[in-house]
Amino acid sequence: MTKSRIHKIRHLIELLISMAGYVPKNATVMRTVFIFFSLLLAWYFAHYHPNNADVAFIYFIISEVLYIGFITVVLSENGLRHFFHAKWNNENDAYKAFEAILGFLFFHNAVSIGYVASSTPGNLLDFLNQDLLLVVVTIMFIAGFLVKILAANVVSIEIYYWKDMFLGRKISDFVVSGPYKYLNNPMYGIGQLQAYAIAIWYGSVYGLMAAILNQILIFSFYYFIERKFIKRVYMSS
């Protein structure tokens, strides 16, 4: 195997782990401890409370409020990102602190949506042939996951974590390649298909509602907060 191929595989693995909420290149002992206990919590729910819808709903609501609330409050033009900068007196350290919190919230947001679906199985599409349903959800999951990975790879993991918004300036040129060549917002759009695929596979109405609510909220963040930043910082130049 050539060094180039090894590098590409390593980059892909690091990208996937980073998207899940743990950025290896910025790893610290504290971040590692938090992600370890987050994984342990996800395992605990799946193993000991696989069908506990009440726990799943509470977990989802808390995760969603903290995730959307955090990015809204911090990344607004006059948001708490200024507090981070003032506290750390170094924009790189301030960003790493923000990234650590956001990664933690990324992880629990994704897990909570899947947990709602798995804990509330139903007969949403039982009228379909199960083999056909498996094909459909597999295509949906792969399409959503692939588009999200390609989009994150094109813009970089820093943009994935909204580093430009956190710093309040451009950190790269505006991207119009990869999925962005054909889609205005691949991450928030098709990049969310895997959540729907999981809900459909479990036949979960509540899982579907969780996926829809999450997508509505992230698009709301985009339209009310992020798009203003893009127009102000990227489009003006």
pLDDT at position 3: 75
Number of residues that make up the chain: 237
- Pick out the chain residues at pLDDT < 50: none
pLDDT at position 177: 80
Per-chain mean pLDDT for the chain: 93
| Phi, psi of 218, rounded to the nearest 5 degrees | -70, -35
For residues 212 and 195, what is the distance between their CA atoms, to the nearest angstrom?
9
For residues 118 and 1, what is the distance between their CA atoms, to the nearest angstrom?
39
Domain region containing 18: 3-46+53-235
Q: In the chain, where does DSSP find H-type helix?
A: 3-20, 29-48, 53-75, 81-88, 91-119, 130-155, 157-160, 163-167, 193-202, 205-221, 227-230
Q: Map residue 157 onto helix, strand or coil.
A: helix
Q: What is the pLDDT of residues 132-163, one digit of tens each?
A: 889 999 999 999 999 999 999 999 999 999 99
Domain count for the chain, please give it: 1
pLDDT at position 237: 58
**Half-sphere exposure for 29 (CA within 13 Å, toward CB):** 0
